[in-house]
Structure 1
Amino acid sequence: MNPQRPAGPGASPRLAGRVSTKVAVCGVFVAANFMAIMDTTIVNVALPAIGHDFGVDLSGLSSVNIGYLVALAVFIPVSGWLTNRFGTRRTVLTALLLFTVASGLCATADSLEALTGYRILQGVGGGLLAPVGMTMMLRAFPVAERLRAQQYVMLPTTVAPALGPVLGGWLVDTASWHWVFLVNLPVGVLALLFGAAALPDFPGPGTPRFDALGFVLAGGGLAAVLYALTTAPDRGWGNGGTLGPLAGGVASLAVMVVWELRSRHPLIELRVAKDQLFRTTQVVLLPTGAAFMGVLYLYPQFLQTGLGYGALHSGLATFPEALGMLTASQIVPRVHDRLGPRLLMVVGGIGAALIISVLATLMTTPHPLALYPSMYLLGTSVGLLFASAQNAAFVTIPPSRTADATTLLNMQRQTAGAFGVALAGTLTASLARPTGATGAYPTAFLALAGLCLGASLLALRISDRRVREAYEADAPASSSAKASRLGRNVER
């Protein structure tokens, strides 16, 4: 398949010559991921208003987020099979339609039960959007051009989590909680129309049959683990409601690994993890993702409980993190060839650890003006690591296996985020009893800093030589000089 052709099977003849493959893929990917990622944070701000309308206290609203999370977890493992079976175009448009329709239904919900059901439908679409969208990007862009593409691709993953609380707080304050769902409709409809008219198809290698047992083991196991991690801070790790799902989920995933490695037609081709570069980057991204999501969970809480910020103000104070990650997405393509991914990842991990440690210090003696640049620098450091690691993860993965690789990456990403929030919440809750709520935050932040430091040490195992060789083997002639420069300047 030629990744630079202007249009693929299924693209509208009217737009085939006007919209390039790369523009079409980037446009749909950014819009779809922006909605799906922002939805994980924007709803949290609206929960008090939802509870007030439905006559339910906050503790009873957990099903709104847990239903979404569980559906997300169940359908991430099946995304690779659907992509290989039906192609990227049909799969991503179906997921977009599900997510957009479910968003409209959520806004019309007149009971907690209805809202939970519609959120589950949203989770089905959201679970497919990220991995399928990433597969499209990997197949549309050759190895040498992916870092440039990340300048646009990182927009949803960096801005959406930070924008969610800000936009959600403003919509709830000025309109109603229904608008945190209605805001998805114009984005979803435009993405669907544009995608239906211009999006090419990247068919996979095909799949002989559906691995039903693998689906149950993978989807059920991941859902159980994420459910346990999500509820652990409130219930406690020794509670049966936490230990049962956690043990069952881990056991299910362990059996899934054995089954998938022996199956003739696995749902997820786990052998893709035999690739040393892909495997190592996932090990690096796991603690980094956990620390990052842990900070995003605790930081607004500290601003509200420690400094008395409102929900909207705390969201605005968190937003510099997104600007820092956007800055990093512009820096990495310019210095990657000269420095190599390993150094960028190590520097990013160490920088994140130092900044989180500074935030821990600032929490004992708060200086509000120092918090904003600290969050910006944290976003920049994490962005250096994320952009370099995500690019390196796929440079040695063949196109036929990209759907399987993106499925594993998104399973890792969801687990890392849930673990980071669970760790941060547990530490804060346990330490708040002897020290008070505010005094618990510095220790929790130092633990998250330790995760980033560990990630930087793990990044030392990244092979710049493997990345250079992949560039030289895959880069088009126009980029051969860049690949050679990487080879001359990076001697590993």
Structure 2
Amino acid sequence: MNPSNLSAVGPPVQVPSEASKHLLPWLVAFAFFMESLDTTILNTAVPAISAALDVKPLSMKAVLASYTLSLAVFIPISGWVADRFGTRRVFAAAIGLFTFGSFLCGISTNIDALVACRILQGMGGSMMVPVGRMTLVRTFSKSDLLRAMSFVSIPALVAPMLGPIAGGLIVAYLHWRFIFFVNIPIGLAGLVLVYLYLPDYREKKTHPLDVVGLILFGSGIALLSYVLEVFGDHTLGVREITGLLVVSLALLAGYWIHAKTLQFPLLQLNLFRIRTFRAAVGGGLFTRLGIGGVPFLLPLLYQVGLGFTPIQSGLLLMPQALAAIGVNWVILRLLARFGYRSVLITNTIIIGMLLLVFATIGVHTPIWVIVALAFLYGAYSSLQYTSMNTLVYADTTEEETSAANSIFSTVQQMAISFGVATAGLATAFFIPEHSQSNPALMIDGLHKALLSLGVLTILSTTVFGSLKKEDGRAVSQQKAIHPGG
């Protein structure tokens, strides 16, 4: 365990044993996977659920948006809650709340009850990822953090690919309610593991919660999330969307002004003075504008454009997951050899170029070429996410851990929504509604959308240009690679 943690946050209730340190990344990844899978598995079941609840499929947007809104509101306070009540108690409560919410969703008999239960699920999910990540940061020294984080990053890549397949199989062979019931045994097992292995960190003394900041920022970010969720659905006109966007930005601007007057605001924006933190958070946001929409575009290309079935489309995405798992041992060596600046700049350009190559896939493209591209994309995406996720903590102190984690988790959640919205904008621009039933026009439009996202991804490398060669060295120099270094 990192000894400096004790002076920063006080003695943990349970000092992590070696067994706990080995199992902790598995436990956090376990929770991450459950939360990430839930956000993607539901999409496949939307038609079946809407038919069972006797509502229009478009009404199911509220079921999807309510979860995202709940995440956006409660993620910012995750750091304060964990500091106040302890990481073990909060993490266990998050898994329990998420599991109980899943059960209630599964027994819901109308759309209103389902939306309310999804909000409850989101409250649990909003704490699982940030608090789990914070526990890792406080348990492992910076020189060991990269190895742990590289493992935990895998669920974020694997779950979006497995979700549609799992959802399709459940709807086809079981009942839509098992979409939610599948979380129950996973959650119960997670609670047992938390009790046995999760260390408990808490601050000796916490500052008062910034309630005004929570109202301003929570309202602004929730409204912005809603705008991104409904964007492109034609349920609201341009005037309404613009008005909501202006109000959300005004609320966020109000929070920024409010935060400057407090010593302990909800989100400590002064952390952006740290170059590595600023590059990791900003780079993560702008990079995801390009690559965040890929899980949305590729299934469209494979199914609507090329005529593959949902199962076949899902199988074509599987090499990404396999590559993400297999590339972990390479990530440690690459960052130790070349450093964060070189790796992030080069890797972002490569990912952008891969998106440009995806834009050449057509009806005559051999399957092995698609599989090879998917494998390469999965490997480089895993390197990208792990690098950004660990660079955040390279130069933050122990006292700044929870504040940095809250900001990073909030921006990360927003970046996911921004990425999907960007992909939606690109498809709406390049694929007119009247051409969506024509495979040839769909392929052409999706190619243009992928080209635009590839260019956008390459341009996002400018954010990492502010880094220096030595930045992140405390994290990237692994003991297993440089003994005694």
| TM-score of the superposed pair, with normalisation by structure 1 | 0.90
Shift of 1:149: 1.1
User: Aligned residue for 2:68?
Assistant: 69
Q: Which amino acid aligns with 1:249?
A: S
Structure 1 contact 27–191 (Cα < 8 Å) conserved: no
Structure 2 contact 5–138 (Cα < 8 Å) conserved: no
Structure 2 contact 16–139 (Cα < 8 Å) conserved: no
Aligned-partner Cα distance in 2 for 1:148–1:480: 11
Q: How many residues align?
A: 475
Q: Which amino acid aligns with 1:137?
A: L
Q: Which amino acid aligns with 1:456?
A: T
Aligned-partner Cα distance in 2 for 1:298–1:349: 19
Aligned-partner Cα distance in 1 for 2:264–2:4: 27
User: Aligned residue for 2:3?
Assistant: 2
Aligned-partner Cα distance in 2 for 1:214–1:326: 39
User: Aligned residue for 1:408?
Assistant: 407
User: What SS is found at the alignment partner of 1:234?
Assistant: coil
Q: Out of 422-431 and 72-81, give the one that drifted further.
A: 422-431
User: Aligned residue for 2:251?
Assistant: 252
User: Aligned residue for 2:458?
Assistant: 453
Shift of 1:3: 7.3
User: What SS is found at the alignment partner of 1:394?
Assistant: coil
User: Aligned residue for 1:371?
Assistant: 370
The change in CA–CA distance for 1:482 and 1:185 in structure 2 (over 3 A counts) is same
Aligned-partner Cα distance in 1 for 2:322–2:252: 37
Aligned-partner Cα distance in 1 for 2:218–2:475: 33
User: What SS is found at the alignment partner of 1:362?
Assistant: coil
Matched, 1:95 2:100: no
Task: Give the fraction of aligned pairs with identical amino acids, expressed as a percent.
Answer: 30
Structure 1 contact 77–408 (Cα < 8 Å) conserved: yes
Shift of 1:64: 0.8
Higher relative contact order (CA 8 A, sep 6+): 2
Structure 1 contact 47–58 (Cα < 8 Å) conserved: yes
User: What SS is found at the alignment partner of 1:20?
Assistant: helix
Structure 1 contact 150–329 (Cα < 8 Å) conserved: no
User: What SS is found at the alignment partner of 1:464?
Assistant: coil
- Residues 318-375 of structure 1: per-residue CA shift (max 9 Å, x gap): 2222222223322111232111122211221111111110111114754443222111
User: Aligned residue for 1:168?
Assistant: 167
- Residues 243-297 of structure 1: per-residue CA shift (max 9 Å, x gap): 2222211111111122112113312222122111110121211122222221111
Structure 2 contact 170–179 (Cα < 8 Å) conserved: yes
User: Aligned residue for 2:449?
Assistant: 444
- Note the 1:468-483 alignment, pairs <5 A: 468=473, 481=482
User: Aligned residue for 1:297?
Assistant: 296
- Residues 196-254 of structure 1: per-residue CA shift (max 9 Å, x gap): 23321111363232211111111111111111112112128962332222221111111
The change in CA–CA distance for 1:277 and 1:151 in structure 2 (over 3 A counts) is closer
User: Aligned residue for 2:438?
Assistant: none
- Note the 1:49-60 alignment, pairs <5 A: 49-60=48-59
Structure 1 contact 205–400 (Cα < 8 Å) conserved: no
Matched, 1:130 2:129: yes
Structure 1 contact 102–122 (Cα < 8 Å) conserved: yes
User: Aligned residue for 2:47?
Assistant: 48
Q: Out of 243-252 and 45-54, give the one that drifted further.
A: 243-252
- Residues 57-100 of structure 1: per-residue CA shift (max 9 Å, x gap): 21111011001010111001111111222121111111111001
User: What SS is found at the alignment partner of 1:233?
Assistant: coil
Q: Which amino acid aligns with 1:391?
A: T
User: Aligned residue for 1:489?
Assistant: none
User: Aligned residue for 1:464?
Assistant: 469
The change in CA–CA distance for 1:143 and 1:59 in structure 2 (over 3 A counts) is same
Aligned-partner Cα distance in 2 for 1:76–1:96: 14
- Residues 417-452 of structure 1: per-residue CA shift (max 9 Å, x gap): 111111111221232228643321011111111122
User: What SS is found at the alignment partner of 1:319?
Assistant: helix
The change in CA–CA distance for 1:470 and 1:59 in structure 2 (over 3 A counts) is closer
- Residues 15-67 of structure 1: per-residue CA shift (max 9 Å, x gap): x7876342353233111111111111000011111011112221111011001
Shift of 1:4: 9.3
Q: Out of 434-443 and 107-116, give the one that drifted further.
A: 434-443
Structure 1 contact 337–482 (Cα < 8 Å) conserved: no
Aligned-partner Cα distance in 2 for 1:237–1:288: 28
**Unaligned segments of structure 2, at least 5 residues:** 436-440
Structure 1 contact 3–140 (Cα < 8 Å) conserved: no
Q: Which amino acid aligns with 1:443?
A: K
Structure 2 contact 88–201 (Cα < 8 Å) conserved: yes
Structure 2 contact 71–125 (Cα < 8 Å) conserved: yes
- Note the 1:127-206 alignment, pairs <5 A: 127-204=126-203, 206=205
Aligned-partner Cα distance in 1 for 2:371–2:136: 33
Aligned-partner Cα distance in 2 for 1:282–1:364: 38
User: Aligned residue for 1:307?
Assistant: 306
The change in CA–CA distance for 1:63 and 1:320 in structure 2 (over 3 A counts) is same
User: What SS is found at the alignment partner of 2:109?
Assistant: coil
- Residues 140-168 of structure 1: per-residue CA shift (max 9 Å, x gap): 11010112113421222121121111111
- Note the 1:414-433 alignment, pairs <5 A: 414-433=413-432
Matched, 1:348 2:353: no
Q: Which amino acid aligns with 1:454?
A: L
User: Aligned residue for 1:335?
Assistant: 334
Aligned-partner Cα distance in 2 for 1:216–1:17: 36
Aligned-partner Cα distance in 2 for 1:62–1:470: 41
Structure 1 contact 105–118 (Cα < 8 Å) conserved: yes
User: What SS is found at the alignment partner of 2:202?
Assistant: coil
Structure 1 contact 63–116 (Cα < 8 Å) conserved: yes
User: Aligned residue for 1:286?
Assistant: 285
Structure 1 contact 347–381 (Cα < 8 Å) conserved: no
The change in CA–CA distance for 1:391 and 1:265 in structure 2 (over 3 A counts) is closer
Structure 1 contact 79–127 (Cα < 8 Å) conserved: yes
Aligned-partner Cα distance in 2 for 1:318–1:452: 20
